[in-house]
Amino acid sequence: MLTWLNHIAIAVPDLSKAAAQYKSLGANVSDPKDLPEHGVTVVFVTIPNTKIELMHPLGQGSPIEAFLERNPSGGIHHLCFEVAEIGEAADKLRDIGVRVLGDGTPKLGAHDKPVLFAHPKDFQGALVEFEQI
């Protein structure tokens, strides 16, 4: 069911500094992109087998604001696995006793694909996103 690690998201207090650090390490680093409907500005760091998404809060009530208050230096925020069919992922998680965040139904994610998040308390304390590709 897990077909690919799509990205690792890292919440950062200073997006330009984080982007510059990854650029210095020879990674392919995108320009910042505002995603107002998700409350974040992101920079994509492409390495040969996956992507790092550097995220910074955008606007008021950003979903990563509280995370950065708890982790002022930043931190690894979530992982995202690709799945072939998001409904199947939702069913499978329910079957193994893992709650899906929110109302349990897939939503449109930051890449305009259907996504859902597993509840960290049910899944090794890690926030894990599943994205239908």
**Nearer CB in complex with a second copy: 11/110:** 11
Min CB(114)–a second copy separation in Å: 17
Q: Catalytic residue at 129? A: yes
Q: How far is the CB of 35 from a second copy (least distance, A)?
A: 19
Q: Which of 53, 82, 129, 131 is catalytic?
A: 129
Sign of CA dihedral 120, 5, 116, 78: positive
Q: Is 31 or 95 the residue whose CB approaches a second copy more closely?
A: 95
Q: Nearest approach, Cβ of 20 to a second copy (angstroms)? A: 8
Sign of CA dihedral 113, 114, 117, 118: negative
- On whether the CB atoms of residues 28 and 50 are closer than 8 A, the answer is no
The strand pair at 4-11 and 33-35 is best described as: unpaired
Nearest 5°: the CA angle 109, 114, 115 is 65
Cβ-based nearer residue to a second copy, 20 or 37: 20
Q: Which residues are catalytic, by number?
A: 129
